[in-house]
């Protein structure tokens, strides 16, 4: 909570302004006055520190966003997770809440307390709320061997625990019909602790506006999120913990006003249909659970985790409207059930060598059910009859991944450390593929305040299995939903050579960072939105690359903290070699022989922020800038939408009250009401236009207990 926060200087991370909360463990011990509780708290701290030694980010580029940083953003903990991560270097925003890190479309791995959270089917919604986070680390660059399969960025979230006795209840809302009540709390008893949070969001801008309206037509969303954490300290060296969470969300698909069908179709004599009347919706839900056992001794620390996730996506069309506008009305339901085991450990062999190894096995079962209403066509492409016909296209599939790694952290001198290792990944799914991947990182600290790192990583990234539907293209030949082509090679795993070099310099209260990277890819994975259901489909470019430079600066002294980040990048691909039926044959022919910009390429991305504290109040401002994602020009993806800058302001004030302080806040999002496009509806794999948020004024009140 804001009144409990202090500033923490950290010279080891080229991060944003680094805030850190006073350890809640210590607070719980001080408040209790009981020796037993103090002993449990100290044990919990030691076990947390031991857990961190299993997977250090040695040689990678790491950016830390602690709880206090989140609370100091305009909107505070009401900010969605993707908007928090946008404040890190090298992150670009896209529609549907998507993030692009260092020129990758997705390829992001989420972890809770270092345990992998399997991928799900959510497109619009955010599965994880920042309310549950004690700290968020974004890890990029040449990753050590413990990280694999998803390699553009690792989002490792250290969750809050029950050793922070008490909680908070609040409500937040304002423009665009937003209302967001929430509650969180935790406590400890004996050797046990528990923490939980619940929130609901109702808004009339559930998905980005397709036409720039401040309050789009037919865009209401209801979103509920829940999270729980429980742990039991078994003894001084071991702990059991359990994480459970759920996210259940419903979205209306927003409409563009003033349009009429122009394809010449009719449904039982009906040819006119105002676009304002379209009534499409999508429901997304995901639930997950993670159980973990941790054991530590003087030389060895090991962690065994079992994880599971179930997600479901259902799209409900407006049958008449979509038939007239698109020639197809498709009801779709997809499910994905994942299980996995993650066993990892670290052993300190001697003063010079620390050995780490791990084994991860996971399985997915996915189902796809679609029912499509289409018009039969004659040889000249004219509609046959006035009633549509139904085409069912159903399927299911299973996938297994097996991963193992071994690496050595070798302390060559007090200033020089070499981390090297091997990782093996095996995929058994639509395709059987594998790769042995070397990793090496060198970290040099030539003087106080200076850190240089250089690294190489070989990467193996399978396509998102849960998104591969493999529709039966032949079923739609001779109908109004016939695809541009029929070739449908299955997506392949991406294979990369990745190089990274960075330096960080701390000068008194200022920390500067510079990082350069180059990724050379074979079977580069991209994703596109094809058809009415908002479901992303993976496809491959035969070859591609992403390269760039990141600059970061942060300053912290007294009541003032500030940060600024700038990224320059370029990402291109050549020759689409899977899911080809989705693309225009002319585009395929051009891309076969020419490198084109990836649709999510953005040359310049920037973020900045400042916070100033006056007693128990703080003022904050942040900014995101993008030079614009790609759109079609003279060639596919040959131009970009106009650049933009969005500025947000926030104010929060704490007041003393019985049982805990009351906090009020007021925020303005998009202060200058800049109307800007994220997408214009053109580009390879781009489905529809979307605009950034219009100006909104919001207020909230919360009470600690």
Q: What is the mean pLDDT of the segment spanning 27-36?
A: 44
Task: Compute the distance between CA of residue 338 and CA of residue 247 in angstroms, rounded to an integer.
Answer: 16
- pLDDT score of 535 more than 90: no
Question: Left if phi > 0, otherwise alpha if psi is -120 to 50, otherwise beta: which for 670?
Answer: left
Name every residue whose Cβ is closer than 8 Å to that of residue 363 and which is 6 or more positions away in sequence.
Answer: 338, 339, 340, 398, 399, 400, 401
Nearest to 78 by CA among 249, 197, 242: 197
Q: What angle do CA 373, 488, 498 make, to 5 degrees?
A: 125
Task: Compute the distance between CA of residue 130 and CA of residue 84 in angstroms, rounded to an integer.
Answer: 8
Burial 270-290 (b: 16+ CB within 10 A, else e): eeebebeebebbbbbbbbbeb
pLDDT tens-digit map of 507-528? 999 999 999 999 999 999 998 8
Name every residue whose Cβ is closer than 8 Å to that of residue 515 and which is 6 or more positions away in sequence.
Answer: 14, 61, 89, 141, 500, 501, 502, 503, 549, 550, 552
Q: What is the mean pLDDT of the segment spanning 601-616?
A: 96
Helix or strand holding residue 85 (H, E): helix 81-85
Name every residue whose Cβ is closer than 8 Å to that of residue 240 and which is 6 or more positions away in sequence.
Answer: 231, 232, 234, 291, 292, 293, 294
What is the radius of gyration, based on Cα positions, of the chain? 26
What is residue 532's predicted lDDT score, i.e. its pLDDT?
A: 58
- pLDDT score of 703 more than 80: yes
DSSP assigned state of 486: -
What is residue 381's predicted lDDT score, i.e. its pLDDT?
A: 87
Burial 147-180 (b: 16+ CB within 10 A, else e): bbbbbbbbbbbbbbbbbbbbbbbbbbbbbbebeb
Confidence of residue 335 (pLDDT cuts 50, 70, 90): very high
- pLDDT score of 270 more than 60: yes
Nearest to 366 by CA among 465, 243, 477: 465
Q: How far is CA 680 from the centre of its chain?
A: 23
Confidence of residue 18 (pLDDT cuts 50, 70, 90): very low
Structure tokens at 568: 């320059």
Q: How far is CA 87 from the centre of its chain?
A: 13
Residues 114/157, Cβ–Cβ less than 8 Å: no
Confidence of residue 124 (pLDDT cuts 50, 70, 90): low
CA distances to 265, 281, 323, 479 from 320, rounded to whole Å, are 10, 14, 5, 16
Domains defined along the chain, listed by start: 15-704 (2.40.170.20)
Task: Compute the distance between CA of residue 443 and CA of residue 490 in angstroms, rounded to an integer.
Answer: 40
What is residue 1's predicted lDDT score, i.e. its pLDDT?
A: 34
Confidence of residue 30 (pLDDT cuts 50, 70, 90): very low
Task: Compute the distance between CA of residue 151 and CA of residue 8 in angstroms, rounded to an integer.
Answer: 29
DSSP assigned state of 377: B
3-class secondary-structure state, position 326: helix
pLDDT tens-digit map of 382-430? 999 888 999 998 889 999 999 999 999 999 999 999 999 999 999 999 8
3-class secondary-structure state, position 52: helix
Q: How many other C-beta atoms can be found within 10 angstroms of the C-beta atom of residue 656?
A: 9
What is residue 192's predicted lDDT score, i.e. its pLDDT?
A: 92
Structure tokens at 526: 């991209």
Name every residue whose Cβ is closer than 8 Å to that of residue 40 and which is 6 or more positions away in sequence.
Answer: 188, 190, 191, 233
Confidence of residue 76 (pLDDT cuts 50, 70, 90): very high
Task: Compute the distance between CA of residue 420 and CA of residue 469 in angstroms, rounded to an integer.
Answer: 38
Name every residue whose Cβ is closer than 8 Å to that of residue 230 and which is 6 or more positions away in sequence.
Answer: 162, 192, 193, 194, 241, 242
**Crossing angle for the helix pair 35-54 and 24-32, nearest 10 degrees?**
170
What is residue 35's predicted lDDT score, i.e. its pLDDT?
A: 55
Instruction: Quote the mean pLDDT of the chain.
Output: 90
Confidence of residue 27 (pLDDT cuts 50, 70, 90): very low
Task: Compute the distance between CA of residue 536 and CA of residue 324 in angstroms, rounded to an integer.
Answer: 23
pTM above 0.85, yes or no: yes
Handedness of CA 211, 212, 215, 219 (dihedral sign): positive
Helix or strand holding residue 45 (H, E): helix 35-54
What is residue 405's predicted lDDT score, i.e. its pLDDT?
A: 98
DSSP for 165-234 reads -EEEEEEEEEGGGEEEEEEEEEEEETTEEEEEEEEEEEES-SS--SS--SS-BT--EEEEEEEEEEEEEE
Q: How far is CA 178 from the centre of its chain?
A: 23
């Amino acid at each position: 909570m804001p009144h409990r926060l202090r500033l923490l200087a950290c010279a080891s991370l080229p991060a944003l302004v680094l805030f850190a909360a006073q350890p809640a463990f210590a607070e719980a011990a001080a408040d209790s006055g009981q020796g037993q509780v103090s002993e449990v708290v100290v044990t919990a701290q030691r076990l947390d520190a031991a857990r961190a030694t299993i997977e250090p980010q040695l040689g990678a580029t790491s950016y830390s966003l602690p709880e206090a940083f989140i609370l100091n953003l305009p909107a505070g903990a009401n900010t969605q997770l993707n908007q928090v991560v946008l404040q890190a270097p090298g992150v670009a925003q896209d529609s549907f809440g998507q993030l692009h890190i260092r020129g990758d479309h997705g390829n992001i791995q989420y972890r809770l307390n270092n345990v992998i959270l399997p991928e799900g089917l959510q497109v619009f919604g955010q599965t994880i709320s920042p309310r549950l986070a004690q700290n968020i680390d974004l890890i990029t660059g040449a990753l050590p061997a413990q990280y694999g399969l998803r390699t553009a960025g690792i989002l490792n979230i250290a969750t809050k625990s029950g050793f922070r006795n008490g909680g908070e209840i609040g409500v937040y809302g304002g423009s665009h019909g937003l209302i967001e009540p929430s509650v969180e709390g935790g406590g400890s008893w004996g050797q046990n602790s528990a923490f939980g949070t619940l929130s609901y969001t109702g808004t009339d801008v559930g998905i980005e506006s397709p036409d720039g309206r401040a309050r789009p037509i037919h865009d209401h969303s209801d979103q509920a999120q829940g999270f729980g954490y429980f742990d039991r300290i078994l003894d001084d060296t071991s702990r059991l913990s359990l994480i459970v969470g759920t996210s259940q969300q419903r979205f209306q698909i927003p409409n563009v006003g003033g349009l009429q069908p122009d394809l010449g179709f009719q449904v039982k004599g009906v040819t006119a249909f105002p676009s304002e009347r379209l009534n499409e919706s999508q429901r997304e839900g995901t639930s997950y659970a993670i159980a973990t056992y941790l054991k530590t001794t003087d030389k060895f620390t090991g962690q065994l985790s079992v994880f599971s996730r179930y997600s479901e996506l259902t799209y409900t069309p407006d049958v008449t409207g979509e038939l007239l506008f698109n020639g197809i009305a498709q009801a779709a339901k997809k499910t994905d059930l994942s299980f996995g085991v993650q066993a990892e450990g670290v052993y300190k062999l001697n003063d010079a060598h620390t050995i780490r190894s791990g084994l991860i096995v996971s399985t997915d079962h996915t189902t796809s059910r679609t029912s499509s209403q289409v018009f039969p066509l004659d040889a000249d492409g004219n509609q046959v009859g006035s009633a549509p016909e139904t085409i069912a296209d159903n399927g299911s599939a299973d996938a297994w991944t097996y991963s193992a790694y071994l690496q050595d952290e070798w302390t060559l001198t007090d200033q020089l450390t070499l981390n090297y290792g091997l990782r093996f990944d095996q995929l058994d799914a639509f395709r059987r593929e594998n790769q042995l991947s070397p990793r090496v990182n060198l970290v040099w600290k030539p003087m106080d305040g200076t850190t240089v790192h250089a690294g190489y990583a070989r990467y193996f990234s399978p396509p998102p299995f849960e998104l591969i539907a493999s529709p039966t293209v032949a079923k739609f030949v001779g109908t109004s939903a016939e695809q541009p082509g029929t070739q449908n090679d299955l997506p392949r795993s991406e294979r990369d050579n990745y190089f990274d070099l960075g330096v960080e310099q701390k000068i008194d209260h200022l920390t500067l960072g510079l990082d350069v990277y180059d990724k050379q890819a074979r079977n580069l994975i991209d994703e596109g939105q094809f058809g009415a259901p908002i479901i992303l489909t993976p496809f491959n470019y035969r070859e591609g690359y992403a390269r760039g430079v990141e600059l970061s600066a942060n300053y912290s002294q007294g009541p003032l903290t500030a940060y600024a980040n700038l990224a320059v990048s370029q990402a291109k691909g050549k020759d689409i070699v899977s899911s080809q039926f989705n693309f225009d044959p002319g585009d395929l022919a051009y891309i076969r022989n020419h490198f084109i910009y990836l649709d999510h390429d953005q040359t310049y991305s920037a973020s900045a922020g400042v916070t100033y504290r006056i007693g128990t109040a703080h003022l904050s401002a942040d900014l995101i800038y993008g030079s614009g994602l790609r759109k079609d020009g003279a060639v596919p993806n040959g131009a970009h939408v106009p650049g933009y800058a969005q500025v947000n302001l926030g104010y929060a004030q704490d007041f003393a009250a019985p049982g805990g302080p009351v906090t009020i806040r007021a925020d303005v999002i998009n202060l200058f009401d800049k109307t800007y496009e994220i997408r214009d509806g053109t580009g390879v794999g781009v489905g529809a236009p979307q605009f950034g948020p219009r100006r909104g004024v919001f207020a909230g009140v919360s009470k600690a207990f």
